[in-house]
Structure 1
Amino acid sequence: MSATDELRADHIQVRRLEKIVFKCAEELKNGEDIPFSDLTKITIVISEFVDTIHHSREEDSYFPCVASHDSLKDEIHKFLVEHEFGRNVAKKIHHHLKRWKAGEDARESVSRYLKTYAVFLNDHLNKENKFFDDAEEKVLSEQEEIDMYEQYRSIFAVVKKVEDMIKEIDYLESCPWYQK
């Protein structure tokens, strides 16, 4: 396996989350009740898996390695901006969910920002998958791919956290509101 393959594997899980987030937004918009515990799980997976693990793998290792070849720098810059956009939308989801839990009517805001996040993920993943193809084919050496992959897998706590986040995604997919 390579670093690019590992990031693609992350994308498979993030794509599952994207579908959950979109469905959740639609159900809320349609007046359906979704437990706050499930909404909280969604925000946790966004924060701990998408941002803390996946985006940090890209930002701290993958993108710098690709950029060191003086290649694809414009694309990398755009992805960094998009990551920041995603973080800001996730903060808005969290903020409005907190308001809603406190008794304010924030259903529409939570739904709207969830939908925004799902649209962001769809667009972002499509572009990054193309980027991975280009980086793998034209830029990264086999040894660089192996070294980054080993770096990703060497931190057991991160590997365990990814497994935990996949279990949370499994749980959310099994929820009655998602199964509708």
Structure 2
Amino acid sequence: MNCIELMMDEHQNIKRMLEIIRKYCKRILDGENVHYEDFYKIIDFIRNYADRHHHGKEEQLLFTKMTDELGPTAEKLIKYGMNVEHDLGRLYVQELETAVKRVLDGDMDARLDVIANAISYTHLLNRHIDKEDNVVYKYAQNKLSKETMNRLEQECLAFEQKAKMDKIQDKYLALLSEFETR
């Protein structure tokens, strides 16, 4: 599996978490008992798997190569598109964390903020993943030089090996399975 295929595979794992988030929000909406502490595990997955691990590869490896080699078009796509969306996702997660804390502190009105930020994050990420899979990654594969793609593969492999040593993939894929079996 090459680096682009790996990132697309990670997108599928992220989408699995987006479905879990939606289910939690639906349970809140339906007035069911929700363990709000579970949102901290969800936030951990988002920050460490989706953002630090997955977006880390994009921002540190792929996107820098695209902006360096492909000029203004790639720079606009990355700087004003993908990176802005990554930052907006981080804002939603920060606000989600604040809202969860407020609920746990007894502010039941903050449930609305939990739903609003969680669902906004899921909508953003679903659209974002579609753009990356169908536009950004294809653009990179078609336009980056063979030498750059080879360098990307080597750097991606090193990134993944370090993550495997830190058991990032194992931890967060197990967390997904745990949530999906509830």
Q: Same fold by TM-score, threshold 0.5 exceeded?
A: yes
1:135 is aligned to 2:137: no
Gap regions ≥5 residues in structure 1? 176-180
What is the Cα deviation at residue 144 of structure 1? 2.6
TM-score w.r.t. length of structure 2? 0.88
Q: One-letter code of the match for 2:180?
A: E
Return the alpha-carbon distance in structure 2 between the equivalents of residues 99 and 126 of structure 1. 33
1:109 Cα deviation after fit: 1.1
CA distance, structure 1, for counterparts of residue 77 and residue 131 of structure 2: 9
Q: Deviation at 1:3?
A: 1.6
CA distance in 2, matches of 1:158, 1:54: 16
8 Å CA contact retained: 1:36, 1:101: yes
Map of 1:125 onto structure 2? 129
Q: Please say if residues 20 and 180 of structure 2, whose CA atoms lie closer than 8 Å, have aligned partners that are also in contact.
A: yes
TM-score by length of 1: 0.89
How far apart in 1 are the matches of 2:166 and 2:133?
Answer: 22
Contact 1:66 1:139 in 2 (8 A): yes
AA in 1 matched with 2:100: L
Tell me whether 1:151 sits opposite 2:158 in the alignment.
yes
Report what 2:20 is aligned to.
20
Q: In the aligned structure 1, how far is the partner of 2:101 from the partner of 2:165? A: 27
Q: Which amino acid aligns with 1:148?
A: E
1:112 pairs with 2:119: no
Which of these residues, 67, 75, 78, is aligned with residue 76 of structure 1? 78
Aligned to 1:11: 11
Match of 1:178 in 2: none
1:161 corresponds, among 155, 168, 171, to: 168
Alignment of 1:94-105 (within 5 A): 94-105=97-108
Overall identity of the aligned pairs, in %: 22
Q: 1:63 touches 1:76 (CA, 8 Å); kept in 2?
A: yes
Answer yes or no: is 1:32 the counterpart of 2:51.
no
